Amino acid sequence: MKIKAQFGMVMNLDKCIGCHTCSVTCSNTWTNRPGTEYMYWNNVETKPGVGYPKEWENNDEKKGGWHLKNGKLELKAGGKFSKLINIFYNKDLVEIDDYYEPWTYDYENLVNSPEKDHQPVARPKSQLTGEYMDITWGPNWEDDLAGAHETGKNDPNMRNLDEQIKFEFEETFMMYLPRICEHCQNPSCVSSCPSGAMYKREEDGIVLVDQDSCRSWRFCMTGCPYKKVYFNWKTNKAEKCTFCFPRIENGQPTICSETCVGRLRYIGIVLYDADKVLEAASVEDEKDLYEAQLGTFLDPFDPVIQKEAVKQGIPEDWIEAAQKSPVYKLAVEQKIALPLHPEYRTMPMVWYIPPLSPFMNALGGQVDSLSPDVIFPTINQFRIPIDYLASLFTAGDTGVIKKVLRKLVAMRTYMRAVQLNKPFDHSILEAAGMTEEVAEEMYQLSAIAKYEDRYVIPKSHREDSGDMFSHQGNAGFEFMEACRSCMGGGQEADPLEYYESGFWRELDESSPKGV
Amino acid sequence: MTNLDIFLWIIFPYISLTIFILGHIYRYNTDQFGWTAKSSQFLEQKRLRFGSTVFHWGIIFVFFGHVGGLLIPKLWFDTIGITDDMYHFGAIWFGGLAGLAVVIGGFFLFLRRVAVKRIVKNSSVSDYVALIMLGIVVLVGFTNTAGYTATGGSFDYRVTIGPWLREILTLRPSEGMVLAMAQAPIGFKLHVSLAFVLFAIWPFTRLVHVFSLPLKYLNRNYVVYRNIKPYHKTKVAEKKEIN
For residue A460, the one-letter residue type is S
Q: Is B56 annotated as a binding residue?
A: yes
Provide DSSP, A190-231. HHH-TTS-EEEETTT--EEE-TTT--S--HHHHH-TT--EEE
Cα–Cα nearest to A273, from A304, A305, A241:
A305
User: Is position A319 within any domain?
Assistant: no
Q: From the CA of B163, how many Å to the nearest CA of chain A?
A: 33
Any residues with CB less than 8 A from the CB of A446 and at least 6 apart, and which? Answer: A12, A14, A15, A353, A411
Rounded Cα distance between B126 and B132, Å, is 10
Rounded Cα distance between A403 and A481, Å, is 51
| A215 at B interface, C-beta within 8 A | yes
> What's residue B150's pLDDT?
77
Rounded Cα distance between A90 and A62, Å, is 11
Considering chain B, what is the average pLDDT of its residues?
90
Query: For A26-80, what is each residue's pLDDT tens digit?
Result: 999 999 888 999 999 999 999 999 999 999 999 999 999 999 999 999 999 999 9
Q: What is the ipTM of this complex?
A: 0.89
Query: For A224-247, what is each residue's pLDDT tens digit?
Result: 999 999 999 999 999 999 999 999
Residue-wise burial string across A164-192, b where 16 or more C-beta atoms lie within 10 A, e elsewhere: eebbeeeeebbbbbbbbbbbbbbbbbbbb
Q: What is the mean pLDDT of residues A149-160?
A: 86
Better-scored residue on pLDDT, A188 or A375: A188
> What's residue A494's pLDDT?
45
How many C-beta atoms lie closer than 10 Å to residue B93's C-beta? 11
What are the chain B neighbours of A495 within 8 Å (beta carbons)?
none
CB-based contact B217 A196, cutoff 8 Å: yes
Q: Strand runs (DSSP E) across A233-309, as ranges?
A: 237-240, 265-273, 297-298
Question: Is the pLDDT reported for residue B228 higher than 80?
Answer: no
A467 band by pLDDT with thresholds 50, 70 and 90:
low
How many cross-chain Cβ pairs, A to B, lie less than 8 Å apart?
A: 180
User: Is position A68 within any domain?
Assistant: no
How many C-beta atoms lie closer than 10 Å to residue A244's C-beta? 24
CB-based contact A233 B225, cutoff 8 Å: no
User: Is position A479 within any domain?
Assistant: yes
Bridge-based pairing state of the strands B224-226 and A198-201: parallel
Q: Please count the structural domains in chain B.
A: 1
Which secondary-structure segment (H or E) carries A441?
helix A436-443
Q: From the CA of A158, how many Å to the nearest CA of chain B?
A: 28
Q: From the CA of A352, how many Å to the nearest CA of chain B?
A: 25
Q: Which residue of A has its CA nearest to B56?
A: A88
Most confident of A174-178, A380-384, B142-146: A174-178
Query: For B43-93, what is each residue's pLDDT tens digit?
Result: 999 999 999 999 999 999 999 999 999 999 999 998 998 888 899 888 889
| A67 at B interface, C-beta within 8 A | no
Give CA B227 to chain center in angstroms: 37
Q: What is the mean pLDDT of residues A389-409?
A: 95
Using a 10 angstrom Cβ sphere, with 0-12 exposed, 13-18 middle and 19 or more buried, the burial of residue B151 is exposed
A435, β-bridge pairs: none
Better-scored residue on pLDDT, A373 or A92: A92
Q: Is B191 annotated as a binding residue?
A: yes
User: Is position B240 within any domain?
Assistant: no
What are the chain A neighbours of B42 within 8 Å (beta carbons)?
93, 95-96, 218, 221, 231, 233
Q: From the CA of B192, how many Å to the nearest CA of chain A?
A: 27
A478 band by pLDDT with thresholds 50, 70 and 90:
low
Which secondary-structure segment (H or E) carries A379?
helix A372-379
User: Is position A487 within any domain?
Assistant: yes
User: Is position A494 within any domain?
Assistant: yes
Question: Is the pLDDT reported for residue A259 higher than 90?
Answer: yes
Q: CATH number, domain at B155?
A: 1.20.950.20
Better-scored residue on pLDDT, A414 or A478: A414
> What's residue A479's pLDDT?
60
Domain range spanning residue A473? 465-498
Bridge-based pairing state of the strands A43-47 and A175-179: antiparallel
Query: For B113-122, what is each residue's pLDDT tens digit?
Result: 999 999 999 9
User: Is position B137 within any domain?
Assistant: yes
Cα–Cα nearest to A431, from A375, A384, A480, A381:
A375
Considering chain A, what is the average pLDDT of its residues?
88
Q: Is B209 annotated as a binding residue?
A: yes
**For the CA atoms of B132, B135, B141, B147, what is the dihedral angle to 10 degrees?**
-110
Q: Is A92 helix (H, G, I), strand (E, B) or coil?
A: coil
Rounded Cα distance between B142 and B137, Å, is 8
Q: Is B232 annotated as a binding residue?
A: no
User: Is position A113 within any domain?
Assistant: no
Question: Is the pLDDT reported for residue A492 higher than 50?
Answer: no
What are the chain A neighbours of B54 within 8 Å (beta carbons)?
none
What are the residue ranges of helices labelled H in A70-159?
80-85, 96-99, 108-112, 148-151
Any residues with CB less than 8 A from the CB of A56 and at least 6 apart, and which? Answer: A50, A62, A64, A94, A225, A226, A227
Interface of A with B in 226-245 (CB under 8 A): 231, 233-237
**8 Å CB contact between A182 and A348:** yes
First vs last C-alpha separation in chain A: 26
Question: Edge-to-edge strand order for the sheet containing A265-273?
Answer: A297-298, A265-273, A3-12, A350-353, A338-339
Query: For A430-462, what is each residue's pLDDT tens digit?
Result: 999 999 999 999 999 999 999 999 999 999 987
Q: Is A113 helix (H, G, I), strand (E, B) or coil?
A: coil
User: Is position B223 within any domain?
Assistant: no
Question: Is the pLDDT reported for residue A504 higher than 80?
Answer: no
User: Is position B193 within any domain?
Assistant: yes
Question: Is the pLDDT reported for residue A500 higher than 80?
Answer: no
User: Is position B237 within any domain?
Assistant: no
- By Cβ distance, the residue of A80, A199, A235 closest to B224 is A199
Interface of B with A in 119-138 (CB under 8 A): 121-122
> What's residue A160's pLDDT?
74
**8 Å CB contact between A248 and A457:** yes
Q: Which residue of B has its CA nearest to A97?
A: B43
Which secondary-structure segment (H or E) carries A3?
strand A3-12
Question: Edge-to-edge strand order for the sheet containing A207-209?
Answer: A207-209, A198-201, B224-226, A505-506
Q: What is the mean pLDDT of residues A405-413?
A: 92
Q: What is the mean pLDDT of residues A339-362?
A: 91
CB-based contact B122 A93, cutoff 8 Å: no
CB-based contact A212 B220, cutoff 8 Å: no
> What's residue B59's pLDDT?
97
Q: What is the mean pLDDT of residues B162-180?
A: 95
Residue A90: CA count within 13 A, CB half-sphere: 29
Which secondary-structure segment (H or E) carries A74?
strand A72-75
> What's residue A323's pLDDT?
97
Any residues with CB less than 8 A from the CB of A378 and at least 6 apart, and which? Answer: A362, A363
User: Is position B47 within any domain?
Assistant: yes
Q: Which residue of A has its CA nearest to B32?
A: A212
CB-based contact A187 B223, cutoff 8 Å: yes
Provide DSSP, chain B. --HHHHIIIIIHHHHHHHHHHHHHHHHHHH-TTT-S----TTT--HHHHHHHHHHHHHHHHHHHHHIIIIIS-HHHHHHTT--HHHHHHHIIIIIHHHHHHHHHHHHHHHHHHHH-HHHHHT--HHHHHHHHHHHHHHHHHHHIIIIIITTT----TTTTHHHHHHHHHTT---HHHHHHHHTS-HHHHHHHHHHHHHHHHGGGSGGGGGGG--GGGGGS-SSEEE-BPPGGGSHHHHHHHH-
Rounded Cα distance between A48 and A52, Å, is 12
Cα–Cα nearest to B91, from B60, B70, B69:
B69
Query: For A47-62, what is each residue's pLDDT tens digit?
Result: 999 999 999 999 999 9
> What's residue A239's pLDDT?
96
Rounded Cα distance between A219 and A87, Å, is 8
Rounded Cα distance between A258 and B133, Å, is 52
A270, β-bridge pairs: A6
User: Is position A482 within any domain?
Assistant: yes
Q: From the CA of A460, how many Å to the nearest CA of chain B?
A: 10
- By Cβ distance, the residue of B216, B227, B236 closest to A467 is B236
CB-based contact A233 B57, cutoff 8 Å: no
- By Cβ distance, the residue of B48, B225, B231 closest to A465 is B231
Rounded Cα distance between B219 and A283, Å, is 25
Q: Please count the structural domains in chain A.
A: 1
The verdict on whether omega for the bond into residue A48 sits within 30 degrees of 0, i.e. cis, is yes
| B222 at A interface, C-beta within 8 A | yes
CB-based contact B218 A514, cutoff 8 Å: yes
Q: Which residue of B has its CA nearest to A510?
A: B221
Q: What is the mean pLDDT of residues A276-284?
A: 95
Of A53-67, A176-190, B146-160, minimum mean pLDDT range: B146-160
Domain range spanning residue B30? 3-215
Better-scored residue on pLDDT, A318 or A468: A318
What are the chain B neighbours of A215 within 8 Å (beta carbons)?
35-37, 209, 212, 214
Choose, out of B31, B109, B221, B224, the residue to mutate when testing the contact with A (most A CBs < 10 Å).
Answer: B224
